[in-house]
Amino acid sequence: MTDATTQQRLRVSTDGTAGPYITVPVSQLDEIKRILDDRRIRYWVEENSISWEGSPYVTVINLGREGDADSVQVILDSVR
């Protein structure tokens, strides 16, 4: 799946200690939630969205410490 803002591949990040997460444009949040829900993947969305220097708003989808970053990345990569 491509980030609508950057036109780059959406990536599941694994840096940090809270578990894997995905930073996504707010405009794509509903679509990504649907994809995760359809596959019964547990997640939660950060309450706040942010925008840097006037760029489109982004938010974070947390997959939790037990989240399988590799499996979620495969799913995102399969969506066009």
- CATH architecture label of 12-78: 2-Layer Sandwich (3.30)
Which position has the higher pLDDT, 39 or 17? Answer: 39
Domain-wise residue ranges, the chain? 12-78
Average pLDDT, the chain: 95
Q: List own/partner pairs for 12-16 with CB under 8 A and 24 or more apart.
A: 12/63, 12/69, 12/70, 12/72, 12/73, 12/76, 13/69, 14/69
Return phi, psi of residue 60, to 5°: -115, 130
What pTM value is reported for the model?
0.92
Report the percent of the chain where pLDDT is more than 90.
90
Q: How confident is the model at residue 80 (pLDDT cuts 50, 70, 90)?
A: confident
18 — pLDDT class (breaks 50, 70, 90): confident
**16 has a pLDDT exceeding 90:** no
